[in-house]
Structure 1
Amino acid sequence: MTEEVPALVIGAGPAGLMAAEVLGAAGHRVVIAEAMPSPARKFLMAGKSGLNLTKDEPAELFAARVVGGAAPASLRDAPPGYFGEEELQAVVAGFGPAEVMDWARGLGIELFAGSTGRVFPVGMKASPLLRAWLARLALQGAELRLRWRWRGFEAEGLVFDTPEGPRILRAGTTVLALGGASWPRLGSDAAWVPWLRATGVAVAPFRPANMGFRVDWSAAMAPLHGAAVKGTRLSAGALESRGEWVLTAAGIEGGAVYEISAALRDGAEGFVDLAPDLDAGALAGRLARPRGKLSVGNWLRRVLGDPVRVALLLEWGRPLPAGPAALAARIKALPLRHAGPMPIERAISSAGGIEAGALSPDLELKARPGVFAAGEMLDWEAPTGGYLLTTCMATGRHAGHAAARHLDQELSAAR
């Protein structure tokens, strides 16, 4: 069975819902096809511990934290005409923190900003926002079809497995928003990659992003599994973080780790400053005081004031250097010893996806005119803290506007 629809959005996550909203606001009837039994599952999972919607900071600074994938070598010196990092950052700056906050308030969601600038709903949960968003889409006439799993292209149509059997949709315009490859059990399983590659769309391999790292702990660390690490600075390459992180049985997790995870994943050495509020000289002065009859561990606890930090020093810093200056240097730059990133199935997000050279500035697939892409399908990455969600919505909005223009042109030409 083949059905004609004006506008089709595949994927009911934040990018897809935003594209559908824009298309609906432009007066187009939209069908939203979602493979899962309910929409926005990853969005709801992210909101379980408090929905971090965006970060209240200047739009240009915010956008600069979003990193686009590298263009293919053949395009690095080419004139504009593909969706590179500058274009991505312009899209995010155009629908940045201020616009996202206004949009959420327009849905009746009250917001607040924490001490770090991260913005949350007052109720902290994602579900009230999602309900209000779906209600707005329903008022626009959007039709949400659940358990409609896309299976690729067939000539000018798109094939779906549905509860009623196979169906083919022919759309005047299509926005793909199927997510990346992290948390596949929530719907982002990257099954679409071979179908796009078969049509000539270049897709960079997926890699974990904003993930923890495996650590082969010694038995002495077992009592500290689950402990929070506070009062440190992590660094890797050009990235650094002063946030909190957690020791787990499998390794290290938490916001501070995620902020430097891209550099660690790509081979940069990681370091922990266990005393970031003391310079090396002041720390060496403390270490030069007589130890007396204290054990090494108790003496270090007296200096560092935290048994978790002492445990990390003894785990990653042995053999401890002799002399106050050398030991202070080790404490200020303790090697972060890990055994590689956690698997992509456990990552908060993914890097990789549709390459810049495969997309026009409108996020249209060059190999498939009239088909646009948004969200984590694209080759970009950003840290946690509101950047991921805002960027998904910004690219969905951008693709939705472009799809609406395309459909308007098609309808005008047909008259």
Structure 2
Amino acid sequence: MTGNVAQSGTAASCDALVIGGGPAGLMAAEALAGLGRAVVVAEARPTLGRKFLMAGKSGLNLTKVEPPAHFRAAYAEASDWLAPMLAAFDADAVQGWARDLGQPVFTGSSGRVFPVAMKASPLLRAWLGRLTAQGVALRPRWRWTGWDGDALAFDTPDGPRALAPRVTVLALGGASWARLGSDGAWAPWLAARGVGLAPFRPANVGICRTWSAHMTPHFGAPLKGVALSAGDLRVRAECVISARGLEGGGIYALGPALRDGAALEVDLAPALDAATVATRLAARPPRETTAARLRKALGLRPVALALMQEVARPLPRDPAALAGVVKALRVAHDGPRPIDEAISTAGGITHAALDDGLMLRALPGVFAAGEMLDWEAPTGGYLLTGCLATGRWAGRAAAGWP
């Protein structure tokens, strides 16, 4: 064996092992190496950071600048136990980390932070270069296959191997986008060793709906300037009409409620109250068509008018009744798209299964980070920051393990 490992019987010994080469795993490796541990990173895919690179195709939203309490609220039920990790590696820290890698960043009008390069590959190259300079050994095509006694077993390009690390950080992702490496195959291995798990569920994913032919010309069209609500959640964000339903950041932010069966409501005029909408509609000439009234009185776009006709036909003529439809257009749906189409997943290792350093209570010396843990957050900087923050937290805690 080469680099940071030494052969000992049938298993090679090593100081610190990180399994998973995504953002959480690489951040754990950086934290471990920075605190003096000799680190091996095992990654099943041919290259590291594949999901990170995929996220970067749309601009790589690293984090979001907003008040800490608002930022933490995006993590919903997990916000309390994630709070110290998010405070230790907050939006300012994420930006500083990127700059230290030679990647300047900028903050958009919405508070979202992006690299000036607007892609992930330069940052990832710089990151891997820094890890290599720190002595971190990167092992692509090393697929973890569970335990062999007390050792961790791998399929590698050189055949089966086993490692016996002093400390381990697991950062294998959730169960979405299996083609990029996050397939959830690790769940039964941990369950068999007494680790508490919550079922995987799709997060940051579109919802299913079968449209009539009437909607076909609008596939791919964004529904802008709207507010979306489901259950107790409400967001001002756009979504996109797709051939299979509705997609986009606004839908993703409502994911927990939509996944649990809540109805979707669309407010097509969120800047106006219902009385103002009714007054504007009533002021239009009585012979005007309903579509013309909506377009001229409220500035509704063709995709919004088509959606109203699709889900609320026949539209009422009475201005007050029509205003009610505009302000609370109910769109029936058939739940989320399949889990492998999701950007991320809820479920995984429960909070109760972890100590304060993200070590598995059932497996002393084994820590976990990233999407393996049972938390979820919307896109828009929250998801990636959560992965980086938990990776850093687990790596620092693991570095102190005997």
TM-score category, normalised to shorter length: over 0.9
Q: How does 1:126-275 map to 2 (within 5 A)?
A: 126-275=120-269
> Corresponding residue for 2:35?
26
Counterpart of 1:303 in structure 2: which amino acid?
Answer: A
> Corresponding residue for 2:388?
393
Deviates more, 1:166-175 or 1:316-325: 316-325
1:384 deviation in Å? 0.9
Q: Distance in 2 between matches of 1:276 and 1:332?
A: 7
Secondary structure, counterpart of 1:130 in structure 2: helix
Give the alignment partner of residue 2 of structure 1, picking from 2, 11, 22. 11
Q: Distance in 1 between matches of 2:98 and 2:295?
A: 47
> Corresponding residue for 2:103?
109
1:313 deviation in Å? 1.1
> Corresponding residue for 2:324?
329
Q: Distance in 2 between matches of 1:213 and 1:38?
A: 31
Q: Kindly, what percent of the aligned residue pairs are identical? A: 59
1:112 deviation in Å? 0.1
Is 2:277–2:298's contact at 8 Å kept on the other side of the alignment? no
Secondary structure, counterpart of 2:13 in structure 1: strand
1:8-57 per-position Cα deviation (integer Å, ceiling 9, x unaligned): 00000000000000110111110000000000100000000101000012
Q: Distance in 1 between matches of 2:184 and 2:99?
A: 33
Q: Does residue 296 in structure 1 map to residue 290 in structure 2?
A: yes
Unaligned runs of 5+ in 2: 1-9
1:156 deviation in Å? 1.5
Is 1:272–1:332's contact at 8 Å kept on the other side of the alignment? yes
1:227 deviation in Å? 0.8
1:291 deviation in Å? 4.1
Is 1:53–1:389's contact at 8 Å kept on the other side of the alignment? yes
Deviates more, 1:18-27 or 1:291-300: 291-300
Deviates more, 1:374-383 or 1:312-321: 312-321
Give the alignment partner of residue 57 of structure 1, picking from 58, 66, 88. 66
Q: Distance in 2 between matches of 1:22 and 1:107?
A: 15
Q: TM-score, normalised by structure 2?
A: 0.95
Secondary structure, counterpart of 2:114 in structure 1: strand
Is 1:68–1:379's contact at 8 Å kept on the other side of the alignment? no
Q: Does residue 382 in structure 1 map to residue 377 in structure 2?
A: yes
Q: Distance in 2 between matches of 1:201 and 1:131?
A: 35
Counterpart of 1:386 in structure 2: which amino acid?
Answer: G
1:258-307 per-position Cα deviation (integer Å, ceiling 9, x unaligned): 11122111222221001112211111112223544433333332233211
Secondary structure, counterpart of 1:381 in structure 2: coil
> Corresponding residue for 1:74?
none
Give the alignment partner of residue 373 of structure 1, picking from 368, 373, 376. 368
1:92 deviation in Å? 1.1
Is 2:284–2:293's contact at 8 Å kept on the other side of the alignment? no
Unaligned runs of 5+ in 1: 70-84, 411-415
Deviates more, 1:7-16 or 1:355-364: 355-364
Q: Distance in 2 between matches of 1:310 and 1:262?
A: 28
Q: Distance in 2 between matches of 1:290 and 1:19?
A: 62
Q: Distance in 2 between matches of 1:68 and 1:15?
A: 20
> Corresponding residue for 1:357?
352
Secondary structure, counterpart of 1:36 in structure 2: coil
Secondary structure, counterpart of 1:267 in structure 2: coil
Is 1:234–1:241's contact at 8 Å kept on the other side of the alignment? yes
> Corresponding residue for 1:73?
none
Q: Distance in 1 between matches of 2:291 and 2:316?
A: 15
Secondary structure, counterpart of 1:325 in structure 2: helix
1:216-267 per-position Cα deviation (integer Å, ceiling 9, x unaligned): 1111111111111111111112222222211111111111111112211122
Is 2:280–2:298's contact at 8 Å kept on the other side of the alignment? no
Secondary structure, counterpart of 1:197 in structure 2: helix
Q: TM-score, normalised by structure 1?
A: 0.92
Q: How does 1:43-122 map to 2 (within 5 A)?
A: 43-68=52-77, 85-122=79-116
> Corresponding residue for 1:82?
none
TM-align CA RMSD: 1.3
Q: Distance in 2 between matches of 1:334 and 1:40?
A: 41
> Corresponding residue for 1:315?
310
Q: Distance in 1 between matches of 2:206 and 2:349?
A: 24
Is 2:263–2:333's contact at 8 Å kept on the other side of the alignment? no
1:62 deviation in Å? 1.4
1:328 deviation in Å? 0.6
1:64 deviation in Å? 2.5
Counterpart of 1:404 in structure 2: which amino acid?
Answer: A
1:132 deviation in Å? 0.7
> Corresponding residue for 2:4?
none
1:171-202 per-position Cα deviation (integer Å, ceiling 9, x unaligned): 00000000001111100000000000000111
Secondary structure, counterpart of 2:190 in structure 1: helix
